Amino acid sequence: MTLDRQPQEKRSEVHGIFEKIAGYYDRMNSVMTLGRHGSWCREVATRAAPGRGGHLLDLATGTGAIALQAARKYPATAVTGADFSGEMLRRARTKPGAGAVRWLQADATRLPFGDGSFDAVTEGYLLRNVQDLEGVLREQHRVLKPGGRLVVLETCPPSGLVKPVVTWGVRVIVPLLGQIVARDRSSYSYLESSTLAFASPERVAGVLREIGFQDIGWRKKFFGTNVILWAVKPD
């Protein structure tokens, strides 16, 4: 979830937030989603379907939730978990099964991999933290092999009849949970604002289509506040 093309001050601020919240990141994800986060990570890994002997890259891996699910589901696949936060990666390396994953500190805007290196790319909550959405997705398109799959777990701005209620909940409850669970209201105030300001699935799908992805789809989760998107790089 690196932000190289953003102003340095903004990049440093966001990097500092993720370094700070690493110790309670998993707990807060579980609390904020009423325990659903783990099942979403399993769905992302399932949809990636890298194939036996393939290579999967999990970007914005954080503490490794999706990467570890992929490694368990596809033991014959080489899984790489990459993140810009060293503290997140340090905690990922301590988890059961972490030895099955290659952990790497990397910049999502300039991935240190050759063209067509991976059969699948997954990511969790990366795109809302970057300024150059198209540039980051182009990098993922570049490192995917023809026929490779991209699967994205992201927050989703509320819409429809429930928008006022959900917006209120995100603005009030997320920072409050940050204060109660993590003793850190300010970091989760940022996450609340980035959730409400992020692009709709329709917009992300449009960018994916412009880049050259096909077979694009998505499924909203948890009152429309989260979404799983998927796409395929053409053969």
Q: Is the pLDDT of residue 140 over 80?
A: yes
The answer on whether 76 is annotated among ligand-binding residues is no
30-39, 149-158, 193-202 — which is least confidently predicted? 193-202
Q: Is the pLDDT of residue 33 over 70?
A: yes
Q: What is the pLDDT of residue 5?
A: 42
The answer on whether 63 is annotated among ligand-binding residues is yes
Give the integer Cα–Cα distance in Å for 41 and 144.
20
Share of the chain above pLDDT 70, in %: 93
The answer on whether 48 is annotated among ligand-binding residues is no
Element (H, E) at 58: strand 55-59
Give the distance, in angstroms, between the CA of residue 177 and the centroid of all CA atoms in the same chain.
21
Q: What is the pTM of this model?
A: 0.89
CA distance from start to end of the chain: 27
**What average pLDDT does the segment 181-209 reach?**
82
Q: How confident is the model at residue 3 (pLDDT cuts 50, 70, 90)?
A: very low
Share of the chain above pLDDT 90, in %: 63
Q: Is the pLDDT of residue 6 over 90?
A: no
Q: What is the pLDDT of residue 4?
A: 40
Question: How far is CA 77 from each of CA 61, 97, 140, rounded to the nearest angstrom?
Answer: 17, 14, 18
- Residues 36-84 have pLDDT tens digits of 999 999 999 999 999 999 999 999 999 999 999 999 999 999 999 999 9
Beta-bridge mates of residue 124: 153
Q: Which residues contact residue 2 at a Cβ distance below 8 angstroms, ignoring those fewer than 6 apart? A: 11, 15, 84, 106, 107, 108, 109, 130
- Domain parsing of the chain, residue ranges: 8-156+199-232
The answer on whether 61 is annotated among ligand-binding residues is no
Give the integer Cα–Cα distance in Å for 9 and 64.
27
CB 58 within 8 A of CB 82: yes
CA 76-108-5 angle, to 5 degrees, is 175
Give the integer Cα–Cα distance in Å for 84 and 97.
21
Question: Which homologous superfamily is 8-156+199-232 in?
Answer: Vaccinia Virus protein VP39 (3.40.50.150)
- Amino acid identity of residue 184, one-letter, is D
**What average pLDDT does the segment 172-179 reach?**
78
Q: Which two tokens stand for residue 130?
A: 């970057």
Q: Is the pLDDT of residue 172 over 90?
A: no
Q: How confident is the model at residue 1 (pLDDT cuts 50, 70, 90)?
A: very low
Beta-bridge mates of residue 118: 144
Q: Which two tokens stand for residue 63?
A: 């503490």
Q: How confident is the model at residue 88 (pLDDT cuts 50, 70, 90)?
A: very high
Q: Which residues contact residue 11 at a Cβ distance below 8 angstroms, ignoring those fewer than 6 apart? A: 2, 3, 4
Give the integer Cα–Cα distance in Å for 137 and 167.
27
β-strands 118-124, 144-155 pairing: parallel
